[in-house]
Amino acid sequence: MCFEIKMVNLQGKDKSKFVSNMFNRISGRYDLLNTIMTAGMHYSWRKKATKYLKKSETGMFLDVATGTGDFAFEILNQKIANKVVGLDFSVEMLNIGQIKSEKRNFDKKFVPVVADAHELPFADNSFESITIGFGVRNFVDLSTALEELLRVLVPGGNLVILEIVKPEGKIMSRLFPLYFEKITPRIGSIFAGDREAYTYLPQSVSNFLTSTQLAVLMTKKGFKKPVVKKLAFGTVAIVVGQKNE
């Protein structure tokens, strides 16, 4: 119990360091675990999320918390963008993403960048669209990160967030935590050999927002009337916000 409380209370640089180290450790098994825990549904969720992106043959897209690059590759597969910058603060995850991009012949279209979402190393109005798949829960300061994302997005561009969220329905709000808190750490222990990382995962969800709360926060930070699309009985959501033109 003390171990769990310690992780829940992680803040600021402590949380950032913990999360970065965690993803570096599990990078080699990350894709496998994603597929096991979502029964392969994470692929279809990304495809649904890309429907909210505006196709651009010349513009640059940004995929924040890109991990091993799956969201970026889905965008490139569908030819929604010609080039995607994949940003992450986990070097090991990006290394795997780079290898995957070469196997898919996307090495000239996928640009890996090691950086922090709270301090993006890009000029204002740099990207036609921005995506984040299963990453905003790990932000140390979501408000600051949203301000940075808005800054580098072109006027009229979309921010598309795909995230595991706290379900709002009475039944799923009770059942989902039971599955996530009891089963997920065991799966992580068996397939990744890292129970700690997959104990953090359900805690990060329980400490995060509902999709409605995320949409409200995005509005406060300057995004136009976000659209919310709930998936998987409300445990996953696509939240889309647009920068004013």
CB 81 within 8 A of CB 106: no
* Tally of structural domains, the chain: 1
Domain that holds residue 128: 12-164+209-243
Kindly state whether residue 111 falls inside one of the protein's structural domains. yes
Kindly state whether residue 225 falls inside one of the protein's structural domains. yes
| CATH of residue 94 | 3.40.50.150
The sign of the CA dihedral 37, 43, 46, 47 is negative
Kindly state whether residue 110 falls inside one of the protein's structural domains. yes
Question: Could you read off the pLDDT of 123-133 as tens digits, one per residue?
Answer: 999 999 999 99
At residue 5, does pLDDT exceed 60?
A: no
- Which of 23-37, 76-90, 132-146, 171-185 shows the lowest mean pLDDT across its residues? 171-185
Question: Could you read off the pLDDT of 44-88 as tens digits, one per residue?
Answer: 999 999 999 999 988 899 999 999 999 999 999 999 999 999 999
Q: What are phi and psi for residue 119, nearest 5 degrees?
A: -150, 75
Kindly state whether residue 197 falls inside one of the protein's structural domains. no
Kindly state whether residue 175 falls inside one of the protein's structural domains. no
What percentage of the chain has pLDDT greater than the value 90? 70
At residue 105, does pLDDT exceed 90?
A: yes
Kindly state whether residue 100 falls inside one of the protein's structural domains. yes
Kindly state whether residue 202 falls inside one of the protein's structural domains. no
CB 224 within 8 A of CB 243: yes
What is the pLDDT confidence band of residue 32, given thresholds at 50, 70 and 90? very high
pLDDT at 1: 29
- pTM over cut 0.75: yes
Kindly state whether residue 96 falls inside one of the protein's structural domains. yes
pLDDT at 10: 52
CA 230 to chain centre: 16
Q: Which residues of 90-121 are buried (b: 16+ CB within 10 A; e: fewer)?
A: bebbbebbbebbeeeebeebbbbbeebbbebe
